[in-house]
Amino acid sequence: MPESGRAGSLPSRIPLRRGKTNGDTMSGLTLNSVRKDFGSFTAVNDVQLNVPHGTFVCMLGPSGCGKTTLLRMIAGLDLPTSGEIRLDGEDITAVPTHKRNLGMVFQSLALFPHLTVGENIAYPLRIRGAPREEQKRRVEELLAMIHLPGYADRPVAKLSGGQRQRVAIARALTRSPKLFLLDEPLSALDAKLREAMQVELRQLQQQLGITTIVVTHDQREAMTMADTVVVMNQGEIRQAASPIEIYRRPADTFVADFIGSTNLIDMDTDSTGRAIVLGQAIAGLSAPRSGKTILSVRPEDVHLTAPGSEGAITGTVTFVRDLGGTIETFIDCSGKPLIAVSTPRARPEVSVGQPVGVVLDPGVCVVLDR
Amino acid sequence: MRREAPQKLTDYAPLAFPAIMLTVFFVIPFGTMIAVSFFQRQQGGFYTPAFVLSNYERFASLFFANVLGFSLTLAVLVAICCVAIGVPFTYLLTRMSRRAQIVWMVALLSVLSLSEVIIGFAWSTLFSRTAGITNLLVALGLMQKAVALSPGFPAVLTAMVYQALPYTILVLYPALVRLDPTLTEAARTLGASPLRAFFTVVVPALRATILATLIMVFIFALGSYLLPQILGRPQHWTLSVLITDQAIYQSNMPFAAAMAVFLVLVTLALVTLTLFAGRKREAAA
Amino acid sequence: MSLFLRRFYFVLVGLFLSAPLIVVAGVSVNARQTLAFPPQGFSLAWYVEIFADTGWRNALFASLTLATLSAALAVAIALPLSWFLWRRIAPWANIFQLLGIAPFTLPPVITALGLLTFWATTGFYGQPWTAVISHAIFFVTLPLVTLSLGFSAIDRSLVEAAATMGAADRTIFRTVVLPLITPYLVSGYAFAFVLSLNEYIVAYMTVGFTMETLPIKIFNALRYGYTPTMASVTVLFVVLAAVIYSLIARYGDLLKLLGANSEEKP
């Protein structure tokens, strides 16, 4: 069954684990110690992942982090150097692409320029020799689904970017695959269209209940669509969790910094075991377990008060960006730059050059290993 | 599709037919020709397997030195003329509309495809006394009486430039069409006249291309086997003509083969030079 | 360069390229059997002669047959080779690419002489089919170049997409690769066809004494003086070449085949 929505994906229900998977997972996709080397370069390093049936997963990371290579290995377009890939319990590591039942949308979309819209969508049926009637019916069904009825006979070149996008999606779904893979599918669209397509894609996936993996470098896209976000860097999975978990409880400084924006502040422990941040003891913040740690505070969790207030750190305003709905305040706290985002009403009137008090909300701060 | 090294023997199957054809009908004939160049010629047009150097020894004669010298000089002249005409022409052509370029290219390809026989015939007609260009000059009152312009060296040179010019333009085209147009525009904004921009920006940027083209046209001109024969006198015969003549009319296959091997060596040396020039260009880019 | 200078230059080059052909075209419509220009009278008799005279008709037929078959054979050699080089990683196989380009790069006399010694040694000298193979090898360069260009223009993700939709290698070739490569295949064939039609030296050295192609016939006729049919055949060949190249330009991207970037999308 598809998830009812990402709001419902509480941490306790996260259907995905890092670390060892139990081998008896029969339903869904499992990656076991998957590794890919290109010469001396390791593109994907010992990846463990379990994607239960019907889940929407976004693989997120900077370019060159190995996410596309991982997707291509799932599709069979690249062979892993070692490790195994299982789909519904069956080992498909060495199964050639055309024998895996999957649908894929390529970054370039890869629509066949010599075929019409309808012929593109019917392609998987045609090569299997399906009757003409069935092909026609399925094409009409899919065109209705992507809101392009009557487009079957158009040449692909005559479509707009968004329309081509939809056709590529429809074509990947023609034979109702077990696995729906998308490689940066929306990167060619303009910002507005991209946001609309994100919602549409998510709704479509929920409607079909199909296991879906999307590779993207756009964190907004991942947050909008995914049940589970897999953050990758340098060939490794850094964290795999629901979008809100990733945002609220990043596993390390890379994730904290990559997802949304954050203030990363060095944190020390004084002799009495209190947490010290920027020279100020923060009440309510559990002391670091050991050694030096880093505190991650989201800009919206940095509150501004009058300088010298109880428990506040004093800094100087260096720049103010008033966006109307929110105000971003850039502050210098004894050499450490911080950013605070506040609504106009919850913010004292301060301007550039003036001192300001900064209060960090201990309840929502995250302590990370340095 | 994974693009990978062939795994199974059957993966090599597509290669079989082309490999066999090219080996049997190009590599082996080439080898046969080299072998024949060492064979002994028999009277009456036959030859017997042997290993003699006499065919090569004949190169050391004044006659052969003259032929070789003339062939090389002619080819160099043709190459220089073609490049001198071709570079500005191709440059201007690439700045025209796609439509105009296509029309010119169709014309150039059509001329390039023409048989040497046809080119020879066409020019001999143009240079003839009865139907030639001089009739036009007479009609215009510029000349007293129509004359024949061939056979002669200018006729050979003109026809060979005619033959090689489309080839020159086609060789130059890819490099020129990809030349960044903002280069000359930048020169223009810096105050250079179009002509000055062409000589100070375009020509230097294409130095290696022009050198490579010169060599390729030179090789192309070396291959001309009929025009010197149709439009020239015997002293205008080139190595290619001599090879054809020895092989067909004198039936001296071993000597023809030896000259062909020699021509290959000259050509290969020049191709190597072209590649070297190309590599230098890449290194410079 | 000013517009006037440029125009003048193009007219000059155009005149140079067309002058001999204009004269030949004029000569070809002479009413009498003399080599005269401007033509004396007008007659298309010499065009009729190409088809009416047995010698010329046979030569035309021989040339067309030779060009049709040898271009087909050249494509049959070039297609699997260029496909293999595109599909597989096998650097050593590039040697065959080099072998395919060599015959056309070397002076034609060399290829012709090599084939002559080969056919003479194997005892097949003079057989008509040896000319087909000889021309196919000589012109294999052209389809090889156009097809290599065509394959490199295929976006590999199209092939991958077909695989993800369940197509095996053979199906992909038939349904995706072949339709995309067809324009290059046709151009390669057309180039080889036109050049084979005009080729003299290789044909002459392989079958010159047993068979007359049109260029051989023209040359033989030229040795014994002038016949107006030579002129009409020349015009016919120029027109044929221009028509074929125009068709390539009409249905394909001629400039891209010649090395320009692809046509801008409208």
DSSP, residue by residue, A340-356: EEE-GGGS----TT-EE
Residue B282: predicted pLDDT: 61
To the nearest whole Å, the CA of C244 is away from the closest chain A CA by 23
Q: How many folded domains does chain C comprise?
A: 1
pLDDT at A2 over 50: no
Q: What is the per-residue DSSP string for A94-151?
A: TS-GGGS-EEEE-TT----TTSBHHHHHHHHHHTTT--HHHHHHHHHHHHHHTT-TT-
Average confidence (pLDDT) over C111-122: 88
pLDDT at C151 over 50: yes
State whether the Cα torsion B96-B101-B107-B109 is positive or negative: positive
* Cβ <8 Å between B1 and A77: yes
Shared domain for A116 and A221, answered yes or no, is yes
Could you tell me whether strands B47-48 and A336-342 are parallel, antiparallel, or unpaired per DSSP bridges? unpaired
Shared domain for A223 and A273, answered yes or no, is no
CB contacts of B254 in chain C (<8 Å) are none
To the nearest whole Å, the CA of B141 is away from the closest chain C CA by 16
Residue B283: predicted pLDDT: 63
Choose the closest CB to C198 out of B114, B132, B263: B114
Gap between the Cα atoms of B85 and C14, Å rounded? 12
Shared domain for A209 and A265, answered yes or no, is no
What's the pTM? 0.82
* Cβ <8 Å between C205 and B247: yes
Gap between the Cα atoms of C88 and B2, Å rounded? 9
Say which amino acid occupies B98.
R
**A79: nearest CA partner in chain B:** B2
Q: Which of C23, C117, C240, C245 to probe the B interface (max B CBs under 10 A)?
A: C117
Could you tell me whether strands A179-183 and A211-216 are parallel, antiparallel, or unpaired per DSSP bridges? parallel
Shared domain for A18 and A36, answered yes or no, is yes
Residue numbers of the domain that contains C112: 54-225
Averaged confidence pLDDT in chain A: 85
C 97-156 residues inside an 8 A Cβ radius of A: 155
Task: Give domain status of residue B238, yes or no.
Answer: yes
* Closest to B169 (Cα-Cα) out of B209, B140, B122: B209
Q: Which of the given ranges, A235-244, A292-301, B166-175, has the highest pLDDT on average?
A: A235-244
Task: Give domain status of residue A226, yes or no.
Answer: yes
Residue B235: predicted pLDDT: 81
* Cβ <8 Å between B105 and C245: yes
Residue B183: predicted pLDDT: 76
State whether the Cα torsion B196-B202-B208-B209 is positive or negative: negative
- Neighbouring chains of C at 3+ CB pairs under 8 Å are A, B
Gap between the Cα atoms of A325 and B219, Å rounded? 74
DSSP summary character for residue B121: H
pLDDT bin (cut points 50, 70, 90) of residue A7 is very low
Cβ C72 vs Cβ C185: under 8 Å: no
Residue numbers of the domain that contains B223: 38-96+167-284
Choose the closest CB to C166 out of A114, A127, A181: A127
C 164-203 residues inside an 8 A Cβ radius of A: 164-168, 171, 175-176, 179-180
Q: Which of A68, A107, A112, A213 to probe the C interface (max C CBs under 10 A)?
A: A112
Tokens coding A122:
């019917």
Gap between the Cα atoms of A249 and A178, Å rounded? 32
pLDDT tens-digit map of A314-368: 899 999 998 888 999 999 988 889 999 998 887 888 888 889 988 888 888 888 8
Residue A18: predicted pLDDT: 39
Choose the closest CB to C158 out of A104, A112, A128: A112
pLDDT tens-digit map of A29-86: 999 999 999 888 999 999 999 999 999 999 999 988 999 999 999 999 888 999 999 9
* Closest to A220 (Cα-Cα) out of A9, A70, A60, A57: A60
Task: Give domain status of residue C234, yes or no.
Answer: no
Task: Give domain status of residue B162, yes or no.
Answer: no
CB contacts of A78 in chain B (<8 Å) are 2
- Using alpha carbons only, give the angle C155, C160, C161 rounded to the nearest 5 degrees: 95
pLDDT at C265 over 50: no
Residue A340: predicted pLDDT: 92
Which domain CATH number covers B207?
Answer: 1.10.3720.10
Cβ A111 vs Cβ A131: under 8 Å: no
Of A192, A217, A251, at which residue does a domain stop? A251
Residue C263: predicted pLDDT: 57
Q: Which of C23, C174, C217 to probe the B interface (max B CBs under 10 A)?
A: C23
Task: Give domain status of residue C30, yes or no.
Answer: no
pLDDT bin (cut points 50, 70, 90) of residue A157 is confident
Asked if B46 has any chain C CB less than 8 Å from its own CB, the reply is no
To the nearest whole Å, the CA of A120 is away from the closest chain B CA by 18
Of A222, A251, A280, at which residue does a domain stop? A251
Average confidence (pLDDT) over C210-224: 86
To the nearest whole Å, the CA of B183 is away from the closest chain C CA by 16
Q: What is the biggest distance separating any 2 CA atoms in chain B, rounded to whole angstroms? A: 78
Gap between the Cα atoms of C27 and A278, Å rounded? 99
Residue A291: predicted pLDDT: 65
For residue B276, give Cα distances in angstroms to B281, B283, C96, C102.
Answer: 9, 10, 21, 18
State whether the Cα torsion B163-C97-C153-A167 is positive or negative: positive
Task: Give domain status of residue B148, yes or no.
Answer: no
Task: Give domain status of residue A284, yes or no.
Answer: yes
Residue B284: predicted pLDDT: 58
Residue A84: predicted pLDDT: 93
Which residue numbers of B have CB closer than 8 Å to A's CBs?
A: 1-2
- Using alpha carbons only, give the angle A345, A351, A353 rounded to the nearest 5 degrees: 145
Shared domain for A156 and A220, answered yes or no, is yes
Task: Give domain status of residue B18, yes or no.
Answer: no
Residue A9: predicted pLDDT: 34
How many CB atoms are closer than 10 A to CB B231? 25
pLDDT bin (cut points 50, 70, 90) of residue A26 is low
Task: Give domain status of residue B143, yes or no.
Answer: no
Q: What is the per-residue DSSP string for chain C?
A: --HHHHHHHHHHHHHHHHHHHHHHHHHHT-SSSS--SS-SS---HHHHHHHHSHHHHHHHHHHHHHHHHHHHHHHHHHHHHHHHHHHB--GGGHHHHHHHHHHHHS-HHHHHHHHHHHHHHHT-TT-HHHHHHHHHHHHTHHHHHHHHHHHHHS-HHHHHHHHHTT--HHHHIIIIIHHHHHHHHHHHHHHHHHHHHH--HHHHHHHTTT---HHHHHHHHHHT---HHHHHHHHHHHHHHHHHHHHHHHHS-HHHHTTPPPPPP-
Which domain CATH number covers C123?
Answer: 1.10.3720.10
Cβ B217 vs Cβ B78: under 8 Å: yes
Ramachandran bin of B247, using left for φ above 0, alpha for ψ from -120 to 50, beta for the remaining angles: alpha
Q: What is the per-residue DSSP string for C115-179?
A: HHHHHHHHT-TT-HHHHHHHHHHHHTHHHHHHHHHHHHHS-HHHHHHHHHTT--HHHHIIIIIHH
How many CB atoms are closer than 10 A to CB A155? 12
Gap between the Cα atoms of A193 and A163, Å rounded? 11
* Cβ <8 Å between B113 and C159: no
DSSP summary character for residue A5: -
To the nearest whole Å, the CA of A47 is away from the closest chain B CA by 22
* Cβ <8 Å between B107 and C133: no
Average confidence (pLDDT) over C151-155: 87
Shared domain for A314 and A220, answered yes or no, is no
**B249: nearest CA partner in chain C:** C205
Shared domain for A234 and A334, answered yes or no, is no
To the nearest whole Å, the CA of A124 is away from the closest chain C CA by 5
Q: Which of B118, B171, B173, B215 to probe the C interface (max C CBs under 10 A)?
A: B118
Low-confidence ranges of chain B (pLDDT < 70): 1-2, 43-46, 150, 277-278, 280-285
- Neighbouring chains of A at 3+ CB pairs under 8 Å are B, C
pLDDT at A11 over 60: no
pLDDT tens-digit map of A83-108: 999 998 899 998 988 888 899 999 98
Task: Give domain status of residue B7, yes or no.
Answer: no
CB contacts of B2 in chain A (<8 Å) are 77-79
Q: How many folded domains does chain B comprise?
A: 1
Shared domain for A314 and A247, answered yes or no, is no
pLDDT tens-digit map of A314-328: 899 999 998 888 999
Which domain CATH number covers A108?
Answer: 3.40.50.300
* Cβ <8 Å between B19 and C6: no
ipTM more than 0.95?
no
Total beta-carbon pairs less than 8 A apart between chain A and chain C? 69
Shared domain for A157 and A296, answered yes or no, is no
Task: Give domain status of residue A256, yes or no.
Answer: no
Q: Which residues, in sequence order, are CB contacts of A40 under 8 Å at separation 6+?
A: none
To the nearest whole Å, the CA of C96 is away from the closest chain B CA by 7
Give the alpha-carbon dihedral of A20, A26, A27, A28, to 10 degrees. 40
**B172: nearest CA partner in chain C:** C259
Task: Give domain status of residue B78, yes or no.
Answer: yes
Which residue numbers of A have CB closer than 8 Å to C's CBs?
A: 75-77, 96-104, 106-108, 110, 112-114, 123-124, 126-128, 157, 171-172, 174-175, 181
Residue numbers of the domain that contains A297: 261-369
Ramachandran bin of A39, using left for φ above 0, alpha for ψ from -120 to 50, beta for the remaining angles: left
Q: Which of C77, C97, C109, C245 to probe the B interface (max B CBs under 10 A)?
A: C109
Ramachandran bin of B86, using left for φ above 0, alpha for ψ from -120 to 50, beta for the remaining angles: alpha
Gap between the Cα atoms of B157 and A10, Å rounded? 87
Which domain CATH number covers A303?
Answer: 2.40.50.100
Helix (H, G, I), strand (E, B) or coil at B75: helix
Residue C229: predicted pLDDT: 85
Q: How many folded domains does chain A comprise?
A: 2
% of chain C exceeding 90 in pLDDT: 26
Residue C161: predicted pLDDT: 93
Q: What is the per-residue DSSP string for A215-258?
A: EES-HHHHHHH-SEEEEEETTEEEEEE-HHHHHHS-SSHHHHHH
pLDDT tens-digit map of A181-200: 999 988 878 888 888 889 98
pLDDT tens-digit map of A258-282: 888 899 988 887 777 777 888 777 7
pLDDT at A13 over 50: no
pLDDT at A17 over 50: no
* CA A95 from centre of chain: 28
